[in-house]
Structure 1
Amino acid sequence: MTETAHPSPAQGKTTKDGLRLIVHADDFGLSERVNDGVVDAHLNGILTSTSIMACAPAFGHAVTLAKATPSLDIGVHLTLIEERPLTDPAKVPSLVDETGHFHKHITVFAKRYFRGLINPEEVRLELDAQITRIREAGLEISHLDSHQHVHMLPGILKVAQDLGAKHGIAPMRLPRERVSPYMLSSPGGLSRIAQQLVLNHFCRRARQRFGPTTDRFAGFYYGGKLDTDALLRVVSSLPETGSCELMCHPGEDDPASEKLHWGYAWANELSALKNASVAAEIERRGIRLISYRNLTA
């Protein structure tokens, strides 16, 4: 599938009532291997959109690739977990640990947040710096989402929405994934479902305050482990109508990655997104591939 082929599953088959699907890669900028995989999945697979991490190590490389691939939709992957802030750590002490990096996981951040140990003005300062860096790099931003969905915490969401208004970015991810039968048959799946239900709780609380977003979301359950079989199960379970974002994490194989502790299978996800059987299933169902750029069109 080539760069110009993304709309093809809809041609001649999908009506205005059919499903519009955003296939979205998180973590653009995390590493050069991830960056190359994201672009490969877009040019040679079904990927339509990604979001860039302004404070990640390979940000400059991601910017170069994005400018060379104008058909790839770019959002902001707001980051308050694990990476190093753009802001001087001394100015955002509630957001960092003793090493000057963000706290290591959303569970650590959330515990501090609910204990009142996260300063919302420090969050505002850092996230504003991230959006500003991406804008100053010359990239057109279509939407906001976040690393480990931290923007769904109520106070963080308010900051993100304020910054979206400031920077003229209205669309935002609402990561509410419904529990599907295939999730119940997977070993160890119950713990992931429990995490999703917690996330869904925050999504329900926030839904009435959201601007443009998709009707549905998929991909949390298989986060970092979306191989071809799993992707086919997800696609077969997508709704018939409306709009949906499918989150994924493609990348090239990188045995030297500093993020191996995540347990992500980046290369498997890249292979799945380029698999002909997946593209055929999308075409069979008459799904129209879109991006956040044309979500409201």
Structure 2
Amino acid sequence: MNALRLIVHADDLGLSEPVNAGILEAHQDGLVTSSSIMANGAALDDAVRRCRATPSLDLGVHLTLTEERPLCDPATIPSLVDGDGRLHRHAVDFTRRYLSGRIALAEVAAELDAQVRRVLDTGLPVSHLDSHQHLHLLPRVWEIAAELARRYHIAAIRCPLEPLNLSMFSRPRRLSRAAQLAVLNRFAVRRRDDPMVLANHFRGFFFGGRLTASRLVGLLQGLPASGVCELMCHPGQRDSSGEYSHWGYQWEKELAALKYPLARHLLDDYGIALTSYADLVQPVPDRPSLTATA
């Protein structure tokens, strides 16, 4: 029998109403125990309404520095936005600017603080922080996120350190994703011993947005025998708008996978207990008044 506790975490809550609906369905009828909210997502209000009606879903803040519109006035964060006032297109764009010194860290701090405050202002409980495209792993951005966590008494931060294996290099079309994972791990390995990292194993980046039922079964069969593991996923319902079709995500297939009966049976057979960040964190003092810290 395993001594493993597994957080099944759905990213991108607040991105769109179909994604919100899929995440809540994957929680109510599938394996999802935890999710994180994009404070600047177009469907934030819908996400908040659904979460208030479903208090069993653990929640974090999905810090977002790419693609969406910022919460701060674009004029006050010029290094973070393009000519249309949107955050830079992709993590690669942001990282290049970060590494070349063209990202103002004070602007990052202001935008991320606004995002955390926006979620806390809803009154929903927040147990952890993670980020869109894992940009919080950049060293100075991690420092900002950790400071926000301490300021607002948020106990946990994601560390997406996923082991590479030979099967990831077995097909040419997988090589790019494997290379991205290798780069991600170079940043993540520096954070694995941080006291705010409560999940000491991670899975889900390599198949991000493409987690089919068979891939989920394979991941579950290969989980470590003990500790706490976070499995990242991206469930959603059908979205006819196609606004995020360029991501290539298969939200509906992920939703079906997370509801796949064999997956639940495997957890029972292996003695793996589902958990969440909220289950792991110790009680914390009342958060400071947001008005007082404005």
On the 8 A contact 2:192/2:200 being kept in 1, the answer is: no
Query: 134, 143, 148: which is aligned to 1:158?
Result: 143
Q: Structure 2 CA distance, aligned partners of 1:246 and 1:206?
A: 18
CA RMSD of aligned residues (A): 1.2
Letter in 1 for 2:181: Q
Cα distance in 1 for partners of 2:172, 2:27 equals 31
Query: Does structure 1 conserve the Cα–Cα contact (< 8 Å) formed by 2:65 and 2:80?
Result: yes
Structure 2 matches for 1:30-49, cutoff 5 A? Answer: 30-49=15-34
1:267-282 to 2 correspondence within 5 Å?
267-282=252-267
Is 159-168 or 185-194 further displaced after alignment? 185-194
Letter paired with 2:114: A
Measure the CA separation in 1 of the matches of 2:222 and 2:281: 23
Q: CA deviation at 1:254?
A: 1.1
Shift of 1:184: 3.4
Amino acid at match of 2:52: K
What is the CA–CA distance in structure 2 between the aligned matches of 1:25 and 1:141, rounded to whole Å?
A: 15
Does residue 228 in structure 1 map to residue 209 in structure 2? no
Give the SS at the match of 2:240.
Answer: coil
When structure 1 is superposed on structure 2, of 180-189 and 220-229 the one drifting more is: 180-189
Cα deviations by residue, 1:102-127 (Å, 9 ceiling, x for unpaired): 00000000000000000010001000
Separation in structure 2 between the aligned mates of residue 155 and residue 50 of structure 1, nearest angstrom: 25
Report deviation, 1:187.
4.6
Q: Is the 8 A contact 1:76 1:144 kept in 2?
A: yes
1:181-200 equivalences under 5 Å are 181-200=166-185
Contact 1:21–1:288 (CA under 8 A) maintained in structure 2: yes
Tell me what 1:240 maps to.
225
1:109 maps to which residue?
94
Deviates more, 1:21-30 or 1:251-260: 251-260
Aligned equivalent of 1:217: 202
CA contact under 8 A between 2:191 and 2:197: conserved in structure 1? no
Distance in 2 of aligned mates of 1:241 and 1:141: 26
Q: Match of 2:92, SS? A: helix
| Matching residue of 2:285 | none
- Distance across 1 between alignment mates of 2:167 and 2:16: 32
Change (3 A) 1:186 1:235: farther
- SS class of match (1:188): helix
Which amino acid in 1 is paired with 2:216? L
> Which residue number in structure 2 is paired with residue 9 of structure 1?
none
Q: 2:78 aligns with which of 89, 93, 96?
A: 93
Aligned positions of 1:142-157 closer than 5 A: 142-157=127-142
Aligned partners of 2:105, 2:132: CA distance in 1, in Å? 17
How far did 1:181 drift? 4.3
What's 1:259 paired with? 244
Checking the alignment, whether the CA contact within 8 Å between 2:30 and 2:260 is kept in structure 1 is yes
Shift, 1:281, TM fit: 1.1
Secondary structure of the residue aligned to 1:192 is helix
Q: Distance in 1 between matches of 2:93 and 2:147?
A: 24
Letter in 1 for 2:240: P
- Could you tell me how far 1:183 is from its partner in structure 2? 2.3
The TM-score normalised by the length of structure 1 is 0.92
Structure 1 ranges of 4+ moved more than 4 A: none
Q: Matches of 2:149 and 2:84 in 1, distance apart?
A: 30
Cross-structure match for 1:169: 154
Q: In 1, distance between residues paired with 2:193 and 2:183?
A: 18
Question: 1:266 & 1:181 partners in 2: Cα distance?
Answer: 26
For structure 2, list consecutive stretches of 5 or more residues without a partner in the other structure: 283-294
What is the distance in 2 between the residues matched to 1:275 and 1:264? 19
Secondary structure at the counterpart of residue 217 of structure 1:
strand
Pick the aligned partner of 1:65 from 27, 41, 50. Answer: 50
Equivalent AA in structure 2 for residue 53 of structure 1? M
**1:19 maps onto 2:4 in alignment:** yes
User: What is the CA distance between 1:271 and its match in structure 2?
Assistant: 0.2
Percent identity (aligned): 49
